Amino acid sequence: MARKIVIVDTNVIVSGLIGSDPNSPPARILDAMLEGDFPYVMSTALFNEYSSVLRRPAVVRQHGLTEPEVVLLLTNLTENAIWHDPVISNMAPDFGDNHIWALLESQPHALLITGDKLLIGNPPTGAIVISPRNVIEMILA
């Protein structure tokens, strides 16, 4: 199978950081992003969401990264990303995810990796929305 372009939801990044198993699907996806092992798309809105969520006090307590480490992580994620800032045209099942829907719609061959069951259960027409566990072999094989 040809490599897919991927959009990685914030919950996957956070799960990859705070999980106790370094071989969990979210941890492997995060590591692969940092290594540039597969193409992924990021927008300004998605980057801003990564940044704000990683700095939430409750999340900081879980991942334990210092502010300089968060900045380095975000910098490394942006270095390997394909940047695209689409216009939001359709509404996601959750209003807070409209920026992700816009990215997905603007990249017709991309797939969205998320742990959000609402998004997985209600993908846009023709789109692929899949959980981290179900995507490991597809993008990291």
Question: Quick one: tokens of 84?
Answer: 């695209």
pLDDT tier for residue 1 given thresholds of 50, 70 and 90: very low
Cα separations in angstroms, 88 against 12, 41, 46, 122: 22, 15, 13, 17
Residue 111, helix vs strand vs coil: strand
Q: What average pLDDT is seen over the chain?
A: 89
Amino acid, single-letter form, for residue 102: A
Q: Give the helix/strand (H/E) hosting 23.
A: none
Structure confidence by residue, pLDDT tens digits, 34-90: 999 889 999 999 999 999 999 999 999 999 999 999 999 999 999 999 999 888 777
Token readout for 14 is: 């956070």
pLDDT in tens, 94-120: 767 888 888 888 887 889 999 999 888
* Whether the model pTM is above 0.95: no
